[in-house]
Amino acid sequence: MLELAIHYKDGPILLKDISKNQEVSLKYLGQLIMPLKIASLVKSTRGARGGYCLSRSPEKIKLGEIVNALEGKLCIVECIDSPEICDRSGKCAARDVWNELNHRMIDILNSYTLQDMVIAQTQKENS
């Protein structure tokens, strides 16, 4: 997604180019692209100038959306979303800590956009 964001204004990018630039296997990228398409985060274009591109501008895509598309709903421990699985859920101090940690993790991911990542990457490459 970072590679697509970096080249957002350049048009569609082939998976093989993303693979090369980000040093990620083509096979793995092939597995990642489908859930991103289903989540409407990327779109594909066929033809000689085809490839993949973001469905929205980088500043409108939050990292939380990407993680959710690829991993599903984030939940650090199962009992946060399903308290019924544990008889101790209502009386468990540890569950309260995990719940707070889970919320903060989600908040952090939702506080960053792909554009923030493009800026950070550019700064790292230029320093």
Q: Which two tokens stand for residue 6?
A: 């970096």
* Entry pTM: 0.88
| pLDDT for position 50 | 85
- pLDDT per residue of the chain (127 residues) written in tens, 0 to 9: 999 999 999 999 999 999 999 999 999 999 999 999 999 999 999 988 889 999 999 999 999 999 999 999 888 898 888 889 988 888 999 999 999 999 999 999 999 999 999 999 999 999 8
* 66 neighbors 1 (Cβ within 8 angstroms): yes
Give 1-55's CATH code, choosing from 1.10.10.10, 3.40.430.10, 3.40.50.970, 3.30.930.10.
1.10.10.10
Cα dist from 87 to 32, 75, 83, whole Å: 37, 19, 8
| pLDDT for position 48 | 80
| pLDDT for position 97 | 94
Nearest one of 27, 31, 28, 24 to 3, comparing CA atoms: 24
Phi, psi values for residue 55, rounded to 5°: -85, -20
| pLDDT for position 9 | 94
| pLDDT for position 119 | 97
* 89 neighbors 41 (Cβ within 8 angstroms): no
* 42 neighbors 3 (Cβ within 8 angstroms): no
